[in-house]
Structure 1
């Protein structure tokens, strides 16, 4: 149950789509945070959203109305990628803390400008990279730091969800900040950097959709101590969507979908590790991975961190705590960290398109 002993941060949500709904639902599971208002250019959508999530919520037909609302302490931006910079800038200028759905903005230059503005105005800013705040991810990082799997040698991560090509879809629109890397690739790159630091070398390739955005991409990031991350993302197929960390004495597996991790599988080397990391989406591969994740098996230790809701409550609590403490950033997800992830994506996008 939420802790009633702390003064709650009163959140306003910009947008009424899927992520806005999930954020509103998980606010109810969060300590020190409540929903105060919502805004949408469509007043009927704003009113319907307020009805769904609580009778005390103010519904605004404009973003300016939300920012003028004195009952709102902080803003969650859940609108399309191309609107993030303007929406976050306006929130910062109004003095309200802001949590921006990933990606923080569309370019690394915008991220740096936004970070500077937040620091100048002494206002909180964070990308809503919720995966970084999940207890299972924290556990994986701790296991690595404690040497549970020995010296890390490689990371492997895939995130691919099939979105049929539609030039009108935000996923395939260059103007709206579409592309697999901004929508999915940011997760793998951000998680790899959380675990290993900043890469010293990087390369990649991508395939273009007819609209010119990337429909699929792969990254190779080399970190110090010769750790190599091999990552991929795509809209043109379904992936196995797990994340694997290999070491000299064992393997850690974040089962699919790793972005919503509830478990960490700590595997000894050999047969146990091979079972836990079997690739692909064949019926047999899916069945084996399901078996490994659910049953106690020799050589595999399961660390479980079940949670209710969608898992956004952990980032909500982290952001709310930082806002109450009058901080301008959070150490787990600093805005300049977000900028560096975007720089990596931009580097790959400068590579020649490998469209078949």
Structure 2
């Protein structure tokens, strides 16, 4: 990456989430999509065709990484491949923004982070909600103390996915299940607001393929607060987050992880205040801008989405999977 030059993004794997990220690079200053890679060159070519003739296409990840055409990689492959692909990029000397869930388990995350530190290369989990304007506004509201001490947080995320054992949502070999795919968002917001839990109890209902269809989690914190979290592929849920305090409550409207609005209700006066929050495109440009700022400053870790946060989040996911009996064949 040359000083003053736009940052060149390469995308590894061309799935649906990669399309959203590529779309939102249009909102990012001083950065652009330079290359895409897939094990199937025709998929890379089809993907790139939506973003102009200058986007380079590669029929292997290794070819893109060694091309000299990119400055940073966005990894959009299934969860079960994140560990392998992150190490591939880091060993090629390239900074990495890796989709959530960061990997399958804590052992993999530890190796990814240690490799990045040893090589002094930037690495961040792409938990894009952390950089969303709604989270900035939530932080401001919580800091104001307007709802008092937090008593309880409730968050859910669910949609109906027709059962297909080969689909990524249900295929154990593709690290399927609602927990790692969408349950990570309620878990993220609980950790962001309340920190590390003292106690956690989880229960799950499994799909015929053996991955979780539904997962329900109850948590207790040192502050005295509690939380209930839920994820499912069986039905559409409200996909909201409510934070109840001693003086009022915060309602993050659907879908809470990318919401365009937050309502604060004060109990004593019954006054409701609605805060509209920005969302450019799909909402992925904010994390890309954060990565670019870190790269230009020579940082190898983001101050908001830290390695420690990702490590702790994965440890919680490990414990939840242990409690509900979810293990993947590629662990």
User: TM exceeds 0.5?
Assistant: yes
Q: Aligned partners of 1:75, 1:192: CA distance in 2, in Å?
A: 29
- Give 5+ residue unaligned stretches, structure 2: 327-331
Does residue 1:64 correspond to 2:36, yes or no?
no
Q: Deviations over 1:94-139 (max 9, x none)?
A: 1111111110111111111111111111111111111111111111
Secondary structure class of the residue paired with 1:142: helix
Partner of 1:19: 17
1:217-266 per-residue CA deviation (whole Å, 9 max, x = no partner) reads 01112222111111000111111100011111111111011111121111
| Cα distance, 1:336 vs structure 2 | 3.1
Partner of 2:304: 332
Q: Is the Cα contact below 8 Å between 1:74 and 1:98 reproduced in 2?
A: yes
8 Å contact from structure 2 (residues 132, 279) kept in 1 = no
Deviating beyond 3 angstroms after TM superposition, the runs of 4 or more aligned structure 1 residues are: none
Q: Distance in 2 between matches of 1:171 and 1:250?
A: 37
- The separation in 2 between residues aligned to 1:169 and 1:270, in whole angstroms, is 49
RMSD: 1.7
Normalising by structure 1, we get a TM-score of 0.87
In 2, Cα distance between equivalents of 1:176 and 1:121? 29
Aligned position for 2:329: none
State the distance in 1 between where 2:187 and 2:291 align.
21
Give the conservation status (yes or no) of the 8 Å contact 1:144–1:152.
no
Partner of 1:278 in structure 2? none
Distance 2:156 2:279 in 1: 23
Q: Give the corresponding residue for 2:257.
A: 259
Q: Gapped runs of 5+ residues in structure 1? A: 273-298
Measured after TM superposition, the shift of residue 32 of structure 1 is 2.9
TM-score normalised by L of structure 2: 0.94
The residue that corresponds to 2:288 in the other structure is 316
SS at match of 2:234: coil
> Of 106, 122, 134, which residue of structure 1 is paired with 2:120?
122
Equivalents in 2 of 1:244, 1:75: separation in Å?
A: 35
2:161 aligned counterpart, secondary structure: coil
C-alpha deviation, 1:14, in angstroms: 0.9
Once residues 62 and 324 of structure 2 are traced to their aligned partners in structure 1, the CA distance between those partners, rounded to angstroms, is: 42
Contact 1:36 1:71 in 2 (8 A): yes
How far did residue 334 of structure 1 move?
Answer: 1.6
CA distance in 1, matches of 2:111, 2:325: 28
Q: 1:192 to 1:8 in 2, by over 3 A?
A: farther
Please give the secondary structure, in 2, of the residue aligned with 1:340. helix
- Count, aligned residues: 324
1:227 aligns with 2:225: yes
